[in-house]
Structure 1
């Protein structure tokens, strides 16, 4: 279970973020991404999903929307199972593809190959339909995706999930990268609801660039 974030320090940090993001709001969907890759976005996405149960018992769905590397799917041991790629013609049937990991993680894998690509899923309205259905069952839906600037898929996802949590990493993410990614989010008519810095001092994640 260690690869799927069992560090309570990280989950506690995620719970604080979730409490701030969820203040006064109803059901919510967030896109979790990084600036250049490797900053810890997948780790944070997992921690946020776990934190939802820890914070107020709310159900959360974690979606592996990184069709390029599918790291979350590999961590969940679901590489050969149906998932997001297979929902092209049946988005309402997503519950059948959800994998339960332990007592506090519901994960929708990227899905086995071959299957639909992100541009096809977005163009067909699959993701909107699936997200609407998921938000009837889950308080939170988190989308783990490829870093901005490294895949056109993330830009496409922002047209569906405009609330973006952007992860940077101390001594790795340059300020010009951060500025470019924030501009990309704004140009995509999305908005960065939080910018987090990983490995800042003693804490795994902290607010601010």
Structure 2
């Protein structure tokens, strides 16, 4: 999500306008909801350990069931609405983030329908997974591409993002993931080294059962 916040600053080089203020306020509210979801989600995952350690987290104080209801009925819907509002405001700047969300939503729905019911979690978990993967893999690329179209001098940002998160060695960094890892580095190796490197790359990046 950070690239989107950066883009709202970089795209405007003139005075602050009402559109700019609305876009940035919507982006801040959306990222605030996403951060709150992450905090509560982590506290729910660590609930037993936190209780044993004698901690007084927000989830422990309000109760796990109440925290889950807040996530499902308040925080996640608000996050989704603020995300949609932000992307709609951004349409006047570039359609790429909205197009990325539409394409990603179709792919996600196709994959979801292929899954068995036993492999699906709760509604809140499904939406959290939907949002997190969009933030991690699709939105940064779409946003940085939109920024470069508007201001080509910022092309090093896209190169840096690809190097850190989408080239094969980037998969070893925390949080690195994406559908467009650059496998041409492996292809450039000769013979047996290429086969060995490709096998190691497949083992490191393939999903684990």
TM bucket (normalised to shorter chain) is under 0.3
Structure (1 or 2) with the larger CA radius of gyration: 2
- Report the TM-score when normalising by structure 1: 0.27
The answer to which structure has the higher strand fraction is 1
- Report the TM-score when normalising by structure 2: 0.27
Which has the higher relative contact order, 1 or 2, with Cα contacts under 8 A spaced 6 or more apart? 1
The answer to which structure has the higher helix fraction is 2
